[in-house]
Copies of this chain bind each other. A is one copy, B any other.
Amino acid sequence: MFSLGSWYGAHMAGPRGEYRKSAERRAQILEAAFTVFAKNGYTASSVNEIARAVGITQTGVLHHFAGGKIALLRAVLEQRDARAAGILEPRRGRDFLAGLVEISAAQASQRGVVQLYRNLSAEAVDPDHPAHEYFHARLHRIADAVTSAFEEVRAAGGLREDVDPRDAALRTLAMTEGLELLWLNGFEVDMAADIRAFIDGHLVDPL
């Protein structure tokens, strides 16, 4: 996983000093918010704790994220999703499914990310949770994208005859989520290998 600092550095070469400093501070705050949310979940986290982690005041945080804790949550989630979308969006069919395996492989070294999504998505099943709509829409969007990939594989003659693309997509998603849970609980599971084997069970030729 590349660091936030280097990402901003690469894309914002030569901004004026004040602007660059502000972007760096914003990146620091987001990284701290990510760490605090991943540890405590959303409900039990506070802007104050995030501010302390950066070594600034609460007002300093609100200068960058005027919407407070919800704005921080949204920014953290959008940042993570943009990275996954960057891997998956240009891909179709088998190539997309292989991308899911790559993301699983990368997550094995990102325990905090997996923990954050698990914590927040569990809280967010409550319709009153500020991220309820976000997680709900996200899961359905992923399910639709995986369904399309299986449909593309079928159109190319690569899907086993008895497999329905939608069923295959939902089961792949369920298996991915379940394996993450076991992995977070200390089971010896190789998420990427297991997801690959599971997807292969639906294909004429393995990935």
Given contacts A122-B123, A175-B171, contact A139 B185 (CB under 8 A): yes
Instruction: Decide if A57 is an interface residue (CB 8 Å cutoff).
Output: no
Complex interface bits, A31-47 against B, C-beta within 8 A gives 1, otherwise 0 = 00000000111011000
- Residues of B contacting A185 in the complex (Cβ-Cβ under 8 angstroms): 125, 135-136, 139-140
Q: Which of B39, B123, B173, B184 contacts A119 (CB 8 A)?
A: B123
A187 and B175 within 8 A (CB): no
User: Among B123, B136, B170, B177, which residue has its beta carbon within 8 angstroms of that of A177?
Assistant: B177
Please provide the chain A residues from 113 to 132 with a CB less than 8 Å away from any CB of chain B in the complex: 115, 118-119, 121-123, 125-126
Copies in the assembly, this chain: 2
Q: Is A5 located at the chain interface by the 8 A CB criterion?
A: no
The complex places the Cα of A126 from the Cα of B111 at a distance, in Å, of 12
Scoring A residues 175 to 195 as 1 if CB is less than 8 Å from chain B, else 0, what string do you get?
A: 111110110111101000010
List, in ascending order, chain B residues with CB within 8 A of A140's CB. Answer: 185-187
Q: Once the chains are docked, how many angstroms separate the CA of A118 from the CA of B123?
A: 9
Looking at chain A's contact residues, is the secondary structure mostly helix, strand, loop, or mixed?
Answer: helix
Residues of chain B lying within 8 A (CB to CB) of residue A115: 125
Q: How many residues of A contact B (CB 8 A)?
A: 36
- Given known A-B contacts A43-B41, A43-B44, A143 and B187 have beta carbons under 8 A apart: yes
Which listed residue (B118, B178, B186, B198) contacts A122, Cβ 8 A?
A: B118
A–B Cβ pairs within 8 angstroms, 25 of them: A41-B43, A43-B43, A43-B44, A44-B44, A118-B122, A118-B125, A119-B123, A121-B122, A121-B181, A122-B122, A125-B184, A139-B185, A143-B187, A170-B189, A171-B198, A173-B178, A173-B182, A174-B177, A174-B178, A174-B179, A174-B194, A175-B175, A175-B178, A177-B181, A178-B181
